[in-house]
Amino acid sequence: MKNCIPDEILLQVEKPARYTGNEINIVIKDPSKVEIRFGFCFPDVYEVGMSHLGLQILYYFLNRREDTYCERVFAPWIDMEQKMRENNIALFSIETQQCVKEFDFLGFTLQYEMSYTNVLNMLDLAGIPLFSKDRTEKDPIIVCGGSCAYNPEPLAEFVDFFYLGEGEVLYNDILELYKQNKKAGGTKQQFLEKLLQFDSIYIPKYYDVTYKENGEIASFLPNHKNARKVIQKAVVLDMDSVYYPEKQLVPLIDVVHDRVTLELFRGCIRGCRFCQAGFVYRPVREKTAKTLLKQAEQLVKNSGHEEISLISLSTSDFTCFEELANGLLEEFSKQEVSLSLPSLRIDAFSLELMEKIQEVRKSSLTFAPEAGTQRLRNVINKNLTEEEILRGCALAFSGGWTRVKLYFMIGLPTETEEDIKGIAELSEKIVEKYYELPKEKRPRPVQVVASSSCFVPKPFTPFQWDAQNTFDEFLQKAKTVKKQITKKQLKYQYHDVKLSFLEGVIARGDRKVAKAIYRAWQLGCKFDGWNDLFQYDKWIQAFEEVGIDPAFYANRERSYDEILPWEHISVGVSKQFLINEREKAMREEVTPNCRQECSHCGAKCFGKGVCYE
């Protein structure tokens, strides 16, 4: 029953396999025999979406249900969208190529603020009214989740409900409730009201916002008797027993990450003060090595992939790391399946392990010092000394690595010119470390690539009250670093400063920002995270036309008693803890990691994980 895209259209677009499905391990069901159709929508191109672990988990999690068909929906690339609009082809799912307007739910995962215009564009391509107030019983229910959903307000006017937290906890209950409501002849409105029984569901229309004359929020109050004052995120308590797929979808074209993904744990013990994920995913909850080895075996067998990627926010903090790595190497090296370890900390760099893993091919190593001076690393609580950084690099060089990538941030709170120049100085010291090796151990010149992103203050971090740099300040700082670099073995790259400025506006935006997002989309903005498609001038035009000053959201320091747009949401970490951490940052004091000492952040309220080890 496919609404097949004609071959003549597929032959005119780049990468037709983005739209045709038929991948290995795809789930095939008869849509007429299920009660619920759920579109898992990724507001970016196929290759990016297919590399997202959350999609792989929820796709199989929902498809385990006989009454539900979960199908994937991606943002069509520019060429395909043009053909779809010319030929009146509505947005469709990969599995059946049927129009998603007929589905019961469309669930968008929000991973990046600059994908919000794509959410609107996908709804428009499906023929679904963009504003939730304009939709009828015939339209699907629009739900959003993912890391950006922790500040739902910029999309509040477009979304029926937000799911805050980890999907495995409540989706079964939500779908059961939907079925019961449908059988009883209930309306969409009645279903949404019933959802208010859950701790982790936020329904924007059941809350009223008022504003002060200066633009700050004056009040944020429930307008329905069952709407909660505070919404608490949903958390998986036992990582060993929680559902994890035994297979993964294997694309037929190259995608960003083409490999088996093993999730080691959720959360992070480190508490870097700029990192939203480190706070919103607390507490740390691990899987055992035994569970992971079993999952790896099934995934490799069912996918044919030749690489296993170990995923977490800080892989080397996994307590059973050595046992797991040795177990995986023993099991898979004879099958020529390699291991990849993203997110290693330079101070926990185990040369022996890395040598085992990369016996064949020494790829480049990635380290993230984040700041160029010790003072600033203390401000952001990086808990990493220059000595540790240089020792880690020296070890890597003596082990045969000749390519190193370094990640820094510019625009961090309290930053000085000395901190900026420190980025170039530290990077050059790393180059020098290579030339301390005896000549015979330097088979080729070293290559060091230092790149800096622009600091964006995010909700639920100690820096959520801080002003972001203007893009002129960012640009000036990036130029200062570039000017300081003298060594030809060192290359420096910096992130698009205008993109970071806009990300900052949306990240801390309130409901009023919705008008600007809508207007920017009307003016043709989409795929804003793609540098070659990003249209900064149109965004600025949108802000001017709707009467919103973006600097109010990006470049202004907040007071601790201002009502923030996400104040009605709890991630378990208390506001007082975040204030204390910000005060410590200003005093350049560090906080020990969760395994060294509990800092009483509030995440103990979940009753599990590292807080109880």
What CATH number should be reported for the domain holding residue 582?
Answer: 3.30.750.210
Q: How far lies 100's CA from each of 37, 70, 146, in Å?
A: 9, 11, 21
pLDDT of residue 360: 44
Answer whether residue 102 is part of any domain: no
Residue at 296 is within a domain = yes
3 state SS for 473-485 = HHHHHHHHHHHHC
pLDDT of residue 478: 95
Whether residue 143 lies inside any domain: the answer is no
Determine what percent of the chain is predicted with pLDDT higher than 70. Answer: 96
Q: Which pairing describes strands 68-74 and 217-222: parallel, antiparallel, or unpaired?
A: unpaired
Q: What is the pLDDT of residues 330-387, one digit of tens each?
A: 888 788 888 877 766 665 555 666 666 665 445 677 888 999 999 999 999 999 899 9
> Quick check: is 541 in a domain?
no
pLDDT category at 56 given cuts 50, 70, 90 is very high
Residue 115 belongs to some domain of the structure:
no
Rounded CA separation 27/169 (Å) = 22
Q: What is the mean pLDDT of residues 196-221?
A: 98
Q: State residue 582 phi and psi, 5-degree precision.
A: -65, -40
Mean pLDDT of the chain: 93
pLDDT given at position 309: 87
Q: Per the structure block, which two tokens stand in for 388?
A: 């540790």
Per the model's pLDDT, the better-predicted residue between 401 and 206 turns out to be 206
Amino acid 252: pLDDT: 86
* CA dist list (Å): 306 to 129, 250, 299, 322: 44, 12, 11, 21
Rounded distance, CA 151 to CA 159, Å?
13
The mean pLDDT value for 533-560 works out to: 98
- Where residue 325 falls among pLDDT bands split at 50, 70, 90? confident
- Convert the pLDDT of each residue in 14-30 to its tens digit: 999 999 999 999 999 99
Mean pLDDT of 520-549: 97
Residue 135 confidence (pLDDT) = 98
Average of pLDDT values for 536-555?
Answer: 98
Residue 317 has pLDDT above 50, yes or no: yes
Give the C-alpha distances (Å, rounded to integers) separating 428 from 229, 433, 438, 484, 492.
Answer: 52, 9, 19, 10, 11
Q: Number of folded domains in the chain?
A: 1
Query: What is the extent of the structural domain holding 263?
Result: 259-343+572-613
Q: How confident is the model at residue 223 (pLDDT cuts 50, 70, 90)?
A: very high
- Residue 576 included in any domain: yes
Alpha helices in 440-512 (DSSP H): 471-484, 497-507
Rounded Cα gap, residues 17 and 7, in angstroms: 12
Amino acid type, 444: R
In whole angstroms, what is the distance from residue 569 CA to residue 257 CA?
Answer: 32
Residue 1 confidence (pLDDT): 43
Start-to-end CA span in the chain (Å): 53
Looking at residue 355, its pLDDT comes to: 65
pTM of the model: 0.95
Share of the chain above pLDDT 90, in %: 83
pLDDT digits (tens, 9 = 90+) for 463-489: 999 999 998 999 999 999 999 999 999
pLDDT for the residue 209: 98
Q: How far is Cα 591 from Cα 99, in angstroms, rounded to an integer?
A: 51
Instruction: Give a yes or no: residue 113 inside a domain.
Output: no
Per-residue exposure over 523-532, b if at least 16 CB sit within 10 Å of its own CB, e if not: eebbbbbeee
| pLDDT greater than 50 at residue 133 | yes
Residue 408 lies in a domain: no
pLDDT at 298 over 80: yes
* Structure confidence at residue 446 (pLDDT): 93
What phi and psi values does residue 70 have, to the nearest 5 degrees? -95, 120
